[in-house]
Structure 1
Amino acid sequence: MIEIQNIYKKFGENEVLKGISSTFEPGINNLIIGGSGSGKTTLLKCIVGLHEPTEGDVLFNGENFTDMGFEQRVPIRTHIGMLFQNSALFDSMTVEENIMFPLNLFTNQTRAEKRDRANFCLERVNLAGKNKLYPSELSGGMKKRVGIARAISMQPKYLFVDEPNSGLDPVTSILIDDLISELTVEYNMTTVVVTHDMNSVMGIGDHIVFLHQGKKWWEGSNKEIAHTDNKELNDFVFASRFMRAAKAKL
């Protein structure tokens, strides 16, 4: 479980986050949504420690991550998996080497053990046998799946995903959403996904935090969105669906 308590974040005079609190439970899909500039990626970075909150606290299973120094954070960071928006694969490494990268950094496993783990992760994301390919030889959807395989290589308790469907076609997007959801339930991870894709929201949004102008504007499930009278959320949902429909006609 992850708790965020009254999170503020300023960059100079620009206050990006304004007192956001929420709880992200394990075994369900926790989504952070909002328009461009709403603060969703900044919030994600504050949770994982890539940004330090100006005020507020982030707790991992009751431990105050915000108050910890670098060395104190290492045990928690070894339980964090991260899928970046562009997958962030190393072009000079093979698929297998990319997946083994965090194992090389944080474990004392033998090379055979690390290769076995890489093979297991590749099988889990339906890419068995792709070990020796390079990122340049992969489609966008395959890169995302390799990124997921790397993110779960350390058997994380916490999985953070930034815009998993960016640049993907609708069919591949659904496959990625389903894979993230399956892994979340299977490993009982606390998964936090930043997205602006309403297909993802309606498909896997067990718990949704909607940000607007740096504030938590609405919180609920995908089943509750259809019945909300929150104007800004309704505007966001309508605009997202309208843009998808317009693009589909082009």
Structure 2
Amino acid sequence: MIEVRKVYKSFEEVEVLKDVSIVFEQGKTNLIIGQSGSGKTVLLKSIVGLHEIDKGEILYGDKNFSAMNFKARKEIRKEVGMVFQGGALFDSATVEENVMYPLDMFTKQTTEEKIERANFCLNRVNIENANSKFPSELSGGMRKRVAIARAIVLNPKYLFCDEPNSGLDPRTSILIDNLIKEITEEFQTTTIINTHDMNSVMEIGDKVCFIFKGEKYWEGSSQDIFDSDNQELNNFVFASKLTQKIKKMRS
């Protein structure tokens, strides 16, 4: 579990996050949604420590991450996996080397142990016979799956995904969504996904938090969205033709 308590964050004179409090649950896919510029990316980066918050607390379990020094945070980060928007694979490294990178950074395993673990994670995301390939030789969907394999190689308690479906076709997006959902349930991670993809929200949104102008305006499950009377949420969600059609079918 990760808990955000009354968090504020500003850049110079601009207040980006205002009194945000959310509990992200273990073993569930927790989605953060909102318009561009709403503050959802700043919130995600604040939770992982890429931005220092101005006020409030961020807790990983019962540990106050926001009050920790660099050394203490490093211990927490060993339990964190991150899937970046563009995959963020190292172009000059092979698939195997990319997946092994966190093991090189945080463990003292032998090379054989690292390779075995990397292969396990690659198999888990359905990547086979690609260990020696470079990212440029892979499709967009395969690069995202390699990025997920790297994110789970340390068997993290916490998994963060920043727009994991960005740049992918609808079919591949569904595959990535299902994979993240399966891994979340299988390993009982606390998974937080920053997304604007309403298909993802409807398919895997165990918990959905809507951020509007830096504030938490609404939270609930993907099914609760259809019954919400929050006007800003409805304006955001039902701008999609697909969700308009679904809502009409349900009414």
Shorter-chain TM-score bucket reads over 0.9
Offset at residue 242 of structure 1 (A): 6.6
What TM-score comes out, normalization by structure 1 length? Answer: 0.96
Distance 1:40 1:118 in 2: 31
Is there any run of 5+ residues in structure 1 with no aligned partner, and where?
246-250
Offset at residue 239 of structure 1 (A): 1.6
Counterparts in 2 of 1:162-201, with a 5 A limit?
162-201=162-201
Offset at residue 74 of structure 1 (A): 1.4
Offset at residue 226 of structure 1 (A): 0.6
- Give the ranges of 4+ consecutive aligned residues of structure 1 lying more than 3 Å apart after TM superposition: 240-245
Paired position in structure 1 for 2:128? 128
Paired position in structure 2 for 1:227? 227
Structure 1 residue matching 2:166: 3-state secondary structure: coil
Distance 1:243 1:90 in 2: 37
Paired position in structure 1 for 2:13? 13
| Amino acid paired to 2:105 | L
Offset at residue 132 of structure 1 (A): 0.5
Q: How far does the alpha carbon of each residue in 1:81-136 deviate from its partner, in whole angstroms, 9 at most, with x for none?
A: 00000000000000000000010000000000000001000000000221011000
Residues 99 and 118 in structure 1, CA contact (< 8 A), matched pair in contact too: yes
Q: How far does the alpha carbon of each residue in 1:195-242 deviate from its partner, in whole angstroms, 9 at most, with x for none?
A: 000000000000010000000000000010011111111110122337
| Amino acid paired to 1:180 | I
Residues 94 and 131 in structure 1, CA contact (< 8 A), matched pair in contact too: yes
Paired position in structure 2 for 1:161? 161
Paired position in structure 1 for 2:212? 212
Pair 150,91 (structure 1): closer, same or farther in 2 beyond 3 Å = same
Residues 198 and 243 in structure 2, CA contact (< 8 A), matched pair in contact too: no
| Amino acid paired to 1:54 | D
Structure 2 residue matching 1:222: 3-state secondary structure: coil
Paired position in structure 1 for 2:95? 95
Paired position in structure 2 for 1:70? 70
Q: How far does the alpha carbon of each residue in 1:162-200 deviate from its partner, in whole angstroms, 9 at most, with x for none?
A: 000000000000000000000000000000000000000
Residue correspondences, number? 245
| Amino acid paired to 2:132 | K
What TM-score comes out, normalization by structure 2 length? Answer: 0.96
Distance 2:169 2:53 in 1: 35
Distance 1:241 1:97 in 2: 42
| Amino acid paired to 1:46 | S
| Amino acid paired to 1:65 | F
Is there any run of 5+ residues in structure 2 with no aligned partner, and where?
246-251
Distance 2:5 2:161 in 1: 21
| Amino acid paired to 1:134 | F
Identity of aligned residues (%): 61
Distance 2:105 2:213 in 1: 38
Paired position in structure 2 for 1:139? 139
Identify the range of structure 1 (236-245 vs 153-162) with the bigger mean alpha-carbon deviation: 236-245
Residues 197 and 240 in structure 1, CA contact (< 8 A), matched pair in contact too: no
Distance 2:244 2:233 in 1: 17
Structure 2 residue matching 1:21: 3-state secondary structure: strand
Counterparts in 2 of 1:27-106, with a 5 A limit?
27-106=27-106
